[in-house]
Every structure is written in structure tokens, then in C-alpha cells.
Copies of this chain bind each other. A is one copy, B any other.
Amino acid sequence: MANLSANDYLNKYFPQFELALKEKLAQHTSIKTFEAGELMMQPGQYFRSTMLVVDGKVKLYRQGEDGGEFFMYYLEPGNACALSLICATKQETSEVMAKAVEKTTVLAIPIEIMDDLVRNYKTWYYFTLETYRNRFEELLQVIDSVAFKGLDERLLFYLKKQTEKLNTKQLPLTHQEIAADLNSSREVISRLLKKIEQRGDVILHRNAVEWLK
């Protein structure tokens, strides 16, 4: 993607923002990019800005004390990180990990203007509410799958979600990565995938899983 200005990004991915808000943001935000694989946020880190994703893809996951991971959801262009809204506003440390899975571009909004945004721009207010709502609902789904389902069903749910979000049926995932996302172990995932393959729902390739449904 060619070099777009903050204004270009805002018009493209945040058309619902009122004009004055877009102008305000264009003045005060800086554009930051992260390389694929780069960590954008980690527990214990303080924030001086909230981030609006305008290009790429960000993976949000929780990290356990033992170092285990647990995938929550992806952020895409047009999304904001609900957690960074929380953390920036409350000046608390983040409790989740955010990692760029592709080269990712964000608009960084300094916390100093957050209060102004919230008070004076209705569309910003609606946007933050909508962000909370959406993330909340995603978290509820995550809780469901982990509370009520066995690993086999969770794996199916995970693969389905990946095909939707990555927008391809050839999922570029190793068994090891899947295991990490589900906080399980590679061997177990390998076996479950094999079962699913025998049922005819996927085909296993090296470094990839092909979703057939």
C-alpha cells in the first residue's frame, strides 16, 4: 500500500467519524508501523496512546504465568484495541499481548487528547462503545468455547474463525502454532487434526491446514 496520510486512512476505514473529528485526529495522530511478528503490546507496559488499526492484522492473546498463550481475537483495519482504550484512559498496565501478524500500520492517538475526543465528538463516543461491545461479544464466544467444549470442538471453532478472518481456506498454520493459540500441546493437536481429516473436513499440508467446509 502506497504512503497514505492519516487523513486518507481515516476516510477509508473510519468514514463514520464526523468531519471535525477526522481533522482533529489528522492533526494529532502519528502513523506507526510494525513488522510482521513484532510485539505491539505486552503485560506490564504503560500506554501513552491508543491505536487505530488501518492496515495489516493484529493478534490479541492472553499470556499465562507459565508462559502459555491463549488466543482471543484479531484486530483488522477499522478496529481499535479495546484494551488500549482501557489502559490509556485508566493509565494502567496492559494485561494482554498484541502482536502484528502481518506488517501493520496504526494511527496512534496520544492519551492527552482522549478526554477531548470523548467529550466533544459524538462519533468517537459511539465508536468506543461499539468497540467495547464487539470485543465483549467476542470474549463471550471465547469463554463459551473454553467453558463448554472439548478441545476437538474448540479446534474446529478456531479453524473456522481463522478462515473467516484470514479470508482463505489455506490456513498458514503449523500444528505447533495452533497448539499455542489453544494453550494445548502439539501432539494432541496433530492427533485431533488427523481425526478431522479422516472425517473429510480438512486436508493437512505441511505448514498449512486446508479447510473444506
Contact = CB atoms under 8 A, between A and B. Distances in A.
Given A118-B125, A122-B119, A133-B86, A143 B140 contact: no
Interface residues of A, number: 34
A133 B139 CA distance: 13
Interface string A38-59: 0000000000000000000000
A152 interface: no
Given A125-B125, A143-B70, A64 B132 contact: no
B139 A136 contact: yes
Nearest to A135: B136
Given A119-B122, A125-B125, A148-B68, A62 B140 contact: yes
Identical copies in the complex: 2
A95 interface: yes
Pick the 7 closest A-B CB pairs, nearest first.
Answer: A64-B148, A132-B132, A70-B147, A139-B139, A86-B133, A146-B146, A147-B183
Interface of A: 62, 64-66, 68, 70, 72, 82-83, 86, 89-90, 95-96, 118-119, 122, 125, 128-129, 132-133, 135-137, 139-140, 142-144, 146-148, 183
